[in-house]
């Protein structure tokens, strides 16, 4: 995805067991923080919708 021009930090992979609640909370926090930091990805908004706004 990065190769195609999607910024680092928009895509996350993790492997969390159902027993790892602490890790789950940590990862969710990290992912949402990273998404907020990256801001809205307007590249994926369609033309018609951009025109409407």
Partner 1 sequence: MSGNIDRIKEIARGLLETEKVDVVIGFKKGTLPVMSEPTIIRKASDTETLIWDATCRLNLCNYLTGRKDRIGIIAKGCDARNIVGHIVENKIKRDQLVIIGVPCTGMADKKALSDLVGGEVTAYAEAGDQITVKGPAGEKTVSRSEVLQSNCRSCIKRNPVIFDEMAGEPVEELVLENRFADVEKIEAMDAGAKWGYFEELLSGCTRCYACKNACPLCYCPTCFVDESRPQWVGKGTDPIDIRTYHFLRAFHCAGRCTDCGACEAACPMDIKMRAFTRKGVKDCVEKYGWETGMKEGVRPPLDTFKTDDPEAFIR
Partner 2 sequence: MTLIRIAKASWDGGLEKARKAYELIGPVPEKDSHKYAVLAEGQLPDMGFKNTKLSPKWVVFPQSEAMFTYTLDGTKENHHILQEVPAAPGARAVIGIRPYDAKAIQLTKMNFDNKDYKDPFWLRNYERCTFVGLAINAPSATDFSTSCGTGPFAEEGLDVLLVDAGEVYIAKVLTEKGKKFLDAAGFGEDAGADAAKTVEDLKAKAEAAITSKVSYNKIQGKTIMDLYDAPFWKDVLFGCINCGTCTYACPTCWCFDIQDEVKGTDGVRVRNWDSCMTALFTHHASGHNPREHEWERTRQRFMHKLKYFLDKYDAGLMCVGCGRCVEQCPANIDIRTVCNTMNAFEPGK
Q: Would you count residue 52 as binding partner 2 (CB under 8 A)? A: yes
Closest contact distance (angstroms) between CB of 45 and partner 2 is 8
* C-alpha to C-alpha distance for 12 and 24, rounded to whole angstroms: 13
**Residue 52 binds which entry of partner 2, partner 1, none, CB below 5-8 Å type-dependent:** partner 2
Residue whose CB is less far from partner 1, 36 or 46:
46
Q: Would you count residue 14 as binding partner 1 (CB under 8 A)? A: yes
Angstrom CA distances, 14 to 1, 3, 27, 28, 36, stand at: 16, 20, 8, 10, 18
């Amino acid at each position: 995805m990065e190769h195609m021009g999607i910024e680092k930090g928009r895509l996350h992979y993790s492997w969390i067991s159902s027993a790892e609640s602490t890790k789950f909370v940590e990862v969710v926090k990290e992912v949402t923080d990273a998404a907020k930091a990256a801001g809205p990805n307007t590249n994926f908004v369609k033309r018609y919708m951009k025109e409407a706004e």
